[in-house]
Amino acid sequence: MTVVKAETAPYFEAFRARPHDAEEPRWLAARREAALLRFGELGFPTRRQEAWRFTNLRPLQGTNFAPATGIAAVAPAVVEALRLSDATHRLVFVNGRFAPELSLLSVVPAGAWLATARRTLDERPELLEAAVDDSDTAGAQPFASLNAAFFADGFVLALEPGVVLDRPVQIVHVGRAATPAQAAHVRNLVLLREGSRATVIENFTGEGAYWSNSVTALSLGERAALRRIKVQDDGRDAIHFAVDRVTLGDDTRYESFVLTLGARLARHDTLALIAGERAHCAVHGAYLLRGEQEATNATAIDHAASHGTTREVWMGVVDDRAHGVFLGRIAVRPAGQKTDAEQLNRNVLLSPRATVDTKPELEILADDVKCSHGATVGDLDENALFYLRTRGISEADARRMLIDAFTAEAIATVEDVGLRDYLAAHVQRWLSQDGDARREGVS
Amino acid sequence: MLEIKNLHARIADEREILKGVDLAVAPGEVHAIMGPNGSGKSTLAGVLAGRAGYEVTQGSVTYLGRDLLALSPDERAREGIFLAFQYPVEIPGVNNMYFLRAALNAVRRARGEPELDAGQFLKSVRAKLKLLEISDDLLQRGVNVGFSGGEKKRNEIFQMAMLEPKLALLDETDSGLDIDALRTVANGINRLRAPERAMVVITHYQRLLDYVEPDRVHVLSDGRIAKSGDKTLAAELEKSGYAVFDAA
């Protein structure tokens, strides 16, 4: 008999209290129940669990987040500010619900399916089955299981073999606080069949205290290629959790970049399974934190097939009393011969009270592999600061230049110049706002 | 323009390195400060530019009538002081042109001059490169990143030309240069000599002074100016060495 942890009880109540959806397929209803039960068994993670030992979950546990019910009014300017110059498709979700009036849906090529999860459920329910699976009902990600139980919507991009989307797809998630506090559980799916290609940009933005909890399943068939950019700039009182489950087939290319700027408590987990040979898995990112923010970026790359490559560059900039965490796990199974993996995590602390925890973890069960990792935590280069200042550049500007240059090293991993500029512009905006300490005139 | 009186300085809590330096530099003059290793040459340059880690325990430095030591390094630069580094710092990820334009505009703002836009800046860059006879291959790289020793020093002189300081401090600008690079650098310095601009050239060897003729030569020994003279003093030192001052 399963034992349900006491702290999960409010979520069981909310599950029973939610409106009944007669249209929902039975398989999904069953999986939702099983996933909720799994969440109940797992409970909230504690610091005794290795994967969560650096995370302070108090902001989440102190509040019961009811599943978000309705859409809030959002000015079009909020979405326009995030505009990507050449994005042709844009889906906007407000508190996890599709907002058609803010979205731009143009015609997609034959063989491409781009729609909300809700519409997919109505018209192509078989697609969505891939997005809710055993990892929700039997896995070890409690918040992903909770998401499976409650998600109301999300986006689905599915490409038939050989279909190439030239222009990026942009997904914008807007959070708005409500009373009582609400959680937006969003479930997404990117399914690329053989030889198909796409670029997906996801933005998170918002105001007030809310919980954004998203799960994305990404599956790349033979020779498929996916470029994925995520800019997490949720409100400073928000909580942001996200799990990416990536499966890579033969000769696939997955290139992702996660920029973390927002939320008081944030965590992004990338779980990648290299199931096919010669797959390329690039998982890069940067996090810029200040105030009391805490953000964890956790990657777990599982090389289960030969000749795979992993590339990871993560740069962290941590100011004030903020806390950055990087957990980088790379496993190479016996079948993962000729794996070539490189992982780098570099951090600068801008304040004496800022902290970083970084933990590389390699588990190698094959004998012919190349795996390297490096992690550093340091201050801005004092010599470089002095040099810039002797040329008349103010200390504040000199610091910004060095932070910008530091972050640019991670952004340089993004091949597309337009996407690089887009990310750099977000970093610039962060830099234009001072840290709490400097704003208050204490350094 | 610059008046140093009885300057004493030490590194953090360690022993005193400058033990009473006196020096006066007038506009248009080029002064050479020579001295053996450990005599305090780099400490003097560091104190004048405002490098952290030095503590002035006695004396004063007056620049254009102001207390120089009360200014931050960037304020000093905006007031017209330029330090050419002995070891120019590599700054990966900061483009040399971007950096230089930010510096120039910071200095121009302080002077009450309008900032230069990209086009005006580029024009100015071209003019200075031509004046100094140096090529433009350094411009699009990270600041000093991967530069040879000669390239780094040329970049320093180029920055000096762009920023048009009132007082230039050149800290061992000749060190580590082959004869061609030395000529280029010396040539640059000479072209930047001007009636309103003073220069303090700090060097261990006399050879730079074969190309840059100083108005005054000072010998720094054990934290003090042990001897001052005209350019002939440099030649004298070349023959006799610094040993005579150590004994004194």
Q: Which of A384, A393, A397 sits opposite B89 (nearest CB)?
A: A384
Nearest chain A alpha carbon to B162: A391
**Contact flag B91-A402 (C-beta cutoff 8 Å):** yes
Q: Which domain holds residue A29?
A: 6-276
Which residues of chain A lie closer than 8 angstroms to B106, CB-CB? 391-394, 397
Q: Is residue A56 part of a domain?
A: yes
Q: Output the tens digit of pLDDT for each of chain A's 443 residues.
A: 578 898 899 999 999 998 888 888 999 999 999 999 999 999 999 999 989 999 989 888 888 888 888 778 899 999 999 998 776 799 999 999 999 999 998 888 999 999 999 999 999 999 999 899 899 999 999 999 999 999 999 999 999 999 999 899 999 999 999 888 899 999 999 999 999 999 999 999 999 999 999 999 999 999 999 999 999 999 999 999 999 999 999 999 999 999 999 999 999 999 999 999 999 999 999 999 999 999 999 999 999 999 999 999 999 999 999 999 999 999 999 999 999 999 999 999 999 999 999 999 999 999 999 999 999 999 999 999 999 999 999 999 999 999 999 999 999 999 999 999 999 999 999 999 876 555 554 43
Which residues of chain A lie closer than 8 angstroms to B82, CB-CB? 390-391
Residue B112 CA to residue A53 CA, distance in Å, equals 55
Q: Which of A57, A7, A64 is nearest to A179 (CA)?
A: A64
**Contact flag A390-B50 (C-beta cutoff 8 Å):** yes
Which residues of chain A lie closer than 8 angstroms to B103, CB-CB? 388, 391-393
Residue B28 CA to residue A276 CA, distance in Å, equals 72
Which residues of chain B lie closer than 8 angstroms to A389, CB-CB? 50, 72-74, 77
**Contact flag B91-A389 (C-beta cutoff 8 Å):** no
Please, are residues A380 and A349 in contact by the beta-carbon 8 Å criterion? no
CA distances from A383 to A111, A219, A336, B88 (A): 56, 46, 44, 9
Q: Which of A231, A244, A150, A248 is nearest to A189 (CA)?
A: A244
Residue A210 CA to residue A196 CA, distance in Å, equals 36
Residue B108 CA to residue A143 CA, distance in Å, equals 55
Indicate the burial class of A340 (C-beta count within 10 angstroms; 0-12, 13-18, 19 or more). Answer: middle
Q: Is residue A399 part of a domain?
A: no
Predicted structure pTM score: 0.91
Q: Is residue A27 part of a domain?
A: yes
**Look-up: residue for tokens 């003090």?**
B224
* 3-state class (DSSP) for residue A240: strand
User: Chain A residues within 8 A (CB-CB) of chain B?
Assistant: 381-384, 386-395, 397-398, 401-402, 404-406, 408-409
Q: Which of B192, B173, B202, B208 is nearest to B28 (CA)?
A: B192
CATH number of domain containing B125:
3.40.50.300
Residue A296 forms beta bridges with which residues?
A267, A325
Residue A183 CA to residue A211 CA, distance in Å, equals 4
**Contact flag B74-A383 (C-beta cutoff 8 Å):** no
Residue A129 CA to residue A421 CA, distance in Å, equals 36
Residue A296 CA to residue A345 CA, distance in Å, equals 13
Q: Is residue A199 part of a domain?
A: yes
Q: Which of A367, A357, A399, A396 is nearest to A381 (CA)?
A: A399
Q: Is residue A206 part of a domain?
A: yes
Q: Which of A429, A437, A380 is nearest to A405 (CA)?
A: A380
Residue B230 CA to residue A333 CA, distance in Å, equals 76
Quote the number of domains for chain A.
1
ipTM: 0.95
Q: Which domain holds residue B212?
A: 2-247
Q: Is residue A388 part of a domain?
A: no
Quote the number of domains for chain B.
1
Nearest chain B alpha carbon to A399: B94
CA of B157 to nearest chain A CA: how many angstroms apart?
12
